[in-house]
């Protein structure tokens, strides 16, 4: 069993407010504080749940989101993606089933910073045959409730 009804209730409450105490959660789900604490600890250990602080890219001065389609040759996409994931500005690196081979999200300050990251960091990764960039004008929806908790950071 991955997660039962109590686990899902705890997840829903923490998703809506990650600052709830175990006692507050227990009161709302009709359980004990100890049970809630144990459930949270167990879900974290099984990579079902992770409570994290989230940074706002805009307040950090990262006003530009670039979405790069990366095409790979003479190296495996997994190897290239692993190397791209080491770039500090890389918010997300995904290996894809078809073209492009990799999807890379960069959070950068401005156009100059984007150019610098592409020229000095992305271009330095061996195996990239070519890439195409898209610039995000506006984020309409960004659902951060889901992610791969076992992902390498």
Q: Are residues 35 and 78 both part of a single domain? A: no
Q: Are residues 37 and 87 both part of a single domain? A: no
Q: State the pLDDT confidence band at 137, using cuts at 50, 70 and 90.
A: confident
Q: Are residues 12 and 40 both part of a single domain? A: yes
Q: What is the per-residue pLDDT across 91-122, written as a single tens digit (0 to 9) for each? A: 999 999 989 999 999 999 999 999 999 999 99
Q: What is the DSSP string of 17-70?
A: -TT--HHHHHHHHTS-HHHHHHHHHHHHHTTS--------TTTTT--EEEEEEE
Q: What is the per-residue pLDDT across 69-81, written as a single tens digit (0 to 9) for each? A: 999 999 999 999 9
- Look at residue 89 in the predicted model and tell me its pLDDT: 95
151, part of any domain? no
Nearest Cα residue to 93 out of 67, 112, 125, 124? 67
Nearest Cα residue to 138 out of 55, 53, 84, 67? 67
Q: Are residues 69 and 121 both part of a single domain? A: yes
Q: Are residues 69 and 118 both part of a single domain? A: yes
Q: Are residues 32 and 68 both part of a single domain? A: no
Q: Are residues 103 and 68 both part of a single domain? A: yes
CATH number of the domain encompassing residue 69: 3.30.70.920
Q: Are residues 125 and 87 both part of a single domain? A: yes
Which token pair is 41?
């600890």
CATH number of the domain encompassing residue 38: 1.10.10.10
- Look at residue 150 in the predicted model and tell me its pLDDT: 58
146, part of any domain? no
**Beta-bridge partners for 134:** 67
d(CA 88, CA 18): 26
Cis peptide before 39 (omega within 30 of 0): no
56, part of any domain? no
Specify the number of domains making up the chain: 2
Query: Domain limits at 32?
Result: 5-45
């Amino acid at each position: 069993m991955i997660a039962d009804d109590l686990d899902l209730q705890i997840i829903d409450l923490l998703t809506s407010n990650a600052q709830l105490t175990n006692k507050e959660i227990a009161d709302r789900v009709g359980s004990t504080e100890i049970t809630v604490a144990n459930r949270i600890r167990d879900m974290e250990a099984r990579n079902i749940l992770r409570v994290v602080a989230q940074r706002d890219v805009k307040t950090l001065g990262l006003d530009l989101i670039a979405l790069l389609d990366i095409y790979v040759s003479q190296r495996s996409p997994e190897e290239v993606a692993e190397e791209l994931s080491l770039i500090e500005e890389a918010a997300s690196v995904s290996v894809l089933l078809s073209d492009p081979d990799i999807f890379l999200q960069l959070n950068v300050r401005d156009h100059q910073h984007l150019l610098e990251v592409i020229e000095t960091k992305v271009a330095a990764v061996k195996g990239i045959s070519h890439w195409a960039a898209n610039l995000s004008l506006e984020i309409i929806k960004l659902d951060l409730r889901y992610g791969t908790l076992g992902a390498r950071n």
